[in-house]
Amino acid sequence: MDQELRELYQQVILDHNKSPRNFRLIDHPTNHAEGYNPLCGDNINVFLSLNDEGIIEDISFQGSGCAISKASASLMTSMLKGKSVEEAERIFNKFHELVTDKLGDNPDIDELGKLAVFGGVREFPARVKCASLAWHTMINALHNKNEKVVTE
Ligand code: FES
- Give yes or no for a contact between 16 and 74, defined as CB atoms under 8 angstroms apart: yes
67 lines ligand 1 (CB under 6 A): no
The reported pLDDT for the residue numbered 101 is: 87
pTM to 2 decimals?
A: 0.92
Task: Return the beta strands (E) in 1-152 as ranges.
Answer: 31-37, 42-50, 56-64, 148-150
Tell me what pLDDT residue 2 has: 74
Picking from 105, 136, 117, 82, the residue whose alpha carbon sits closest to that of residue 8 is 117
Say what the pLDDT of residue 89 is.
Answer: 96
Output helix, strand, coil percentages for the chain, rounded to the nearest 5: 50, 20, 30
Specify the ligand 1 atom closest to the Cα of 44. 4
Q: Report the alpha-carbon distance of residue 56 to residue 30 in Å, rounded.
A: 10
- Mutate which of 34, 129, 132, 151 for ligand 1? The one with the most ligand atoms within 8 Å of its CB, which is 129
Residue ranges covered by each domain of the chain: 3-143
Specify the pLDDT at position 125.
86
HSE-CB for 67 with a 13 A CA cutoff: 13
Q: In this predicted structure, what is the pLDDT of residue 145?
A: 62
Whether domain 3-143 has CATH 3.90.180.10: the reply is: no
**What's the pLDDT score for residue 68?**
95
Tens digit of each residue's pLDDT (9 = 90 or more) over 102-136: 887 767 788 898 898 898 888 888 899 999 999 99
139: helix, strand or coil: helix
Tell me how long the chain is.
Answer: 152
Q: What is the pLDDT along the chain (152 residues), one digit of tens a residue?
A: 678 878 888 999 999 999 999 999 999 999 999 999 999 999 999 999 999 999 999 999 999 999 999 999 999 999 999 999 999 999 999 999 999 988 877 677 888 988 988 988 888 888 999 999 999 999 999 987 665 667 75
- The single-letter DSSP state of residue 109 is -
What pLDDT, on the 0 to 100 scale, is given for residue 144? 76
- Which atom of ligand 1 is nearest the CA belonging to 39? 1
Q: What is the pLDDT of residue 67?
A: 95
